[in-house]
Amino acid sequence: MGCGSSVPVEAVDQDRQQQQQQQQGPASPKQQGAAGNAAESAESAKAKTTRARRLSYISNDANGAAVNAPPGAAAPAAANPGGRSGNTRARRLSYVTNDPNATPNNLKYPGDAEGHEEQELEGGDEPTVQGQLAPEVSRVKNLYMRHPFDPPCPSTPSKEQERRTLRVNVACMSRAGREPGFKKTNQDNCFAFEKYITEDQSLFGAMDGHGPHGHLVSGYVKQHLPIILVNHLTLEKDVKKALTQGFCEVDRSLANSRIDCEFSGSTSVVSYLKGKTLTTAWVGDSRGVLGRESKRGWEAIDLTTDHKPTAPEEKARILKANGRVERLVDEMGQPMGPFRVWLQYAWIPGLAMSRALGDVLAHQVGVTSEPDHTTIDLTPQDKFIVLASDGVWEFISSKEAVEIVAQYDSAEEACRQLVDEAYQRWLTEEEGVVDDITAVVVRFIHPS
C-alpha cells in the first residue's frame, strides 16, 4: 500500500508578508484588498494553531525517509510540521504530512457480495435504517440521529427469546467538527442494533477514524464488523474470544481492502448485550461508561480505559517490536503533545494510541488490533451506557456525561443534549476548533 497523505499544514507566515509590504511601499486599493484577504487567512490560521494537541497520527516525512539518528536523540527540525504555527496544530490533528495531495473524499471500496456496486462512504453516514430523524434534530446541520436498525442476520426467535428480561431504548448521533480554513470531513461513525442475531441480543458501537482516509476506515468497520461478529458470536461460546476474533478479522480485511490503511485507522468501542450480561470490547481511546443509580446519587462506571503507548504493558509490547514511544519536539527541541509510537529510526507514523484497527505501518512496531474487554452483569440500578468518541470525552468527564444523560428519559434527547454540550465546550475552549463528536446512548428498561 502506498503512503497516505493529507492537507499541507503550513500556516500563514505573517512576518514575511509584513516585510514584503514594507518593501513595496504604500499599497494600492487592489493590494489593500489582497492584504485584507491575507489578514483573514492569518485569523483563520490562529484558529488552526489549536488543532494539534490531540493528534492521533503524525507523519513528519511524507516520503517515509529514515532519520539517521539514535532513538534517544532529539527529532530534527523537520519533525515540526508547519513551523511555529504548526506546533499547536501538530498536537491536535488526526494526521499531519507535507504531501500537498489532499485526502480524497471520494475513495470507494467494493461491496461485500459479488456483483454489488461499489459504495461511496463518508464519515457520519449510516446504512439504511428504519424510521425518520427526530423532527427537533433533523434541522440541525451536520447532525445525524439514527434509530436502531434490524439485525444483519435475522432469525426466528424462540418463545424464550421473545420473553426477553431486559429491553433497550437506543439513540446514536454523529456531528461533524469544524476547523476554520479547512473543509472538515466527519471521520466518526456508529451503529446500533437493538435486536441482533436473536431477540435477546443487542450490539452497539462507536468508531473514530484518523489519518487521511480515517473516514473510510471507520465507515468500513461500521459496515463490516457487525456482520463479521454474527459468525463469531454464533460459533464461539466464549464472548470475549468471539469479539477478539471479530476485531482481528475486520483488521485483516481492512489490510486487504482498497482503502489505503498505511497511515489511516480507527478506534472502536463495541458493547454486546446478551440477556443481562454486557460485554464491552475496544481498541484506542473511544470510551464507554455505565450510568448506575445509587443511594449516593449517580455513579459513573468506566467500561474502558484508553490505550495509550505509555501504559507499561503497551509500551513493553511496542519496544519488543522495535518501536519507540516518544513525544514530538518543536524546532527548539522542546517536547510537545502526547507520547506517540514511532519507527526505530524514523519519525513516522506518530500514532498517539497503542491499539487501533487499520494503521498498517504502526502494526509493524507493536500497535495491535486485539481488543481489551470488560463484562458486567446488569442490575436494576444500572440504567444506561454511553459509548462515544474522544470528541465527547475531551472536555466532559465520565461522571458529567452520566449526569447529563440521567436528566432525560428519552435516549434521543439525552444523546442530543450530550453531543450539543460537548460541541459548545469545544467552541469555548479551542477558539472555534471542534473535533468530530459521536455518541451512542443505550437506556436499559428493566422488567418491573
Overall size of the chain counted in residues: 448
The residue with cell 463479521 is 228
Mean predicted confidence (pLDDT) in 190-207: 94
> Has residue 343 got a pLDDT over 60?
yes
142 closest CA partner among 420, 389, 405: 420
Q: What is the mean pLDDT of residues 85-101?
A: 41
C-alpha cell at 279: 460485554
pLDDT tens digits along 46-74: 444 444 444 566 544 433 333 334 344 44
All domains in the chain, ordered by first residue: 14-101+310-350 (no CATH), 108-307+368-445 (3.60.40.10)
Query: pTM of this prediction?
Result: 0.72
C-alpha to C-alpha distances, 281 to 117, 124, 241, nearest whole angstrom? 32, 21, 10
Instruction: State residue 182's pLDDT score.
Output: 84
Which residue type is seen at 57? Y
- The predicted-structure confidence for 406-421, as pLDDT tens digits, reads as follows 999 999 999 999 999 9
Angle at 43 between CA 37 and CA 44, to 5 degrees: 95
